Amino acid sequence: METFEAILKRRSIRRYKGKEITEGQIKKLLEAAMAAPSAHNNQPWEFVVVKDKEMRSKLSKVHSYAWMCAESPLVIVVCGDTDSLQWIDDCSAAAENMLLTGTEMGLGSCWIAARGTKYSGKDDEQVIREILGIPKTIGVLCMLSFGYPDEEKAPRTQYNEDKIHRERY
Ligand SMILES: Cc1cc2nc3c(=O)[nH]c(=O)nc-3n(C[C@H](O)[C@H](O)[C@H](O)COP(=O)(O)O)c2cc1C
């Protein structure tokens, strides 16, 4: 699959079939993540791979927009060393690489909020940190759910000329 095709094909898929994702596929997703650009090549990312049903069930209850973690056979929690000034930028690049690689592999995926939201009524990042035993110095950017899609969404471009400013804003 061409990169641009994967970019348009990637949609937030929240319904998954039960089919397992292999360790080989997980390794490929993580390899894609770690090939991302990062400021000074700091690579501040850390990943928590969650397959366990009980753990996924806990993550699904963190907030009302995380329910698909219970259904998806795989959740990868994208974290980063907060001592690294640009950890959010770096980890976002790593996360998107995983979404696109998943798309290429025929997997559906969804980015689930963790950092900066209080959908749970508490700091969502802190709630996830406690569930997974993530140290305080490590930030939690997002959770990514992956699975074979059980819903279809059409590829699309959201190209909008109004968002483009040439030479100056
Ligand atoms: C920072 C960020 C946070 C998001 N949080 C959630 C979330 O908590 N739950 C969810 O179902 N989707 C979440 N999404 C997915 C968006 O809703 C989705 O990307 C958007 O509606 C566009 O649809 P598309 O991904 O199919 O192109 C998030 C996406 C981003 C980038």
Residue 168's pLDDT band (cuts 50, 70, 90)? very high
- 68 CA: nearest ligand 1 atom: 11
158 inside domain: no
- For residue 85, the CA-to-ligand 1 centroid distance in Å is 24
164 inside domain: no
Q: Atom 19 (ligand 1): residue with closest C-alpha?
A: 12
Over the stretch 112-165, which tens digit does the pLDDT of each residue have?
999 999 999 999 999 999 999 999 999 999 999 999 999 999 999 999 999 999
Q: Best substitution site from 112, 140, 157 to test ligand 1's pocket, by max atoms within 8 Å of Cβ? A: 112
Q: Check whether 92 has a pLDDT greater than 90.
A: yes
What CATH number is given to the structural domain containing 91?
Answer: 3.40.109.10
154 inside domain: no
153 inside domain: no
Q: Atom 14 (ligand 1): residue with closest C-alpha?
A: 111
31 inside domain: yes
132 inside domain: yes
Which structural domain range is residue 57 located in? 3-148
Q: How far apart are the first and last CA of the chain?
A: 35
Q: Give the pLDDT confidence score for residue 1 in this predicted structure.
A: 86
Conformational region of residue 80, where left means phi above 0, alpha means psi within -120 to 50, and beta covers everything else: beta
**How many domains does the chain contain in total?**
1
112 inside domain: yes
161 inside domain: no
By the 10 Å C-beta count (0-12 exposed, 13-18 middle, 19+ buried), 159 is classed as exposed
Over the stretch 30-73, which tens digit does the pLDDT of each residue have?
999 999 999 999 999 999 999 999 999 999 999 999 999 999 99
The 3-state secondary structure of the chain, one letter per residue: CCHHHHHHHCCECCCECCCCCCHHHHHHHHHHHHCCCCHHHCCCEEEEEECCHHHHHHHHCCCCCCHHHHCCCEEEEEEEECCCCCHHHHHHHHHHHHHHHHHHCCCEEEEEECCCCCCCCCCHHHHHHHHHCCCCCEEEEEEEEEECECCCCCCCCCCCHHHCCCCCC
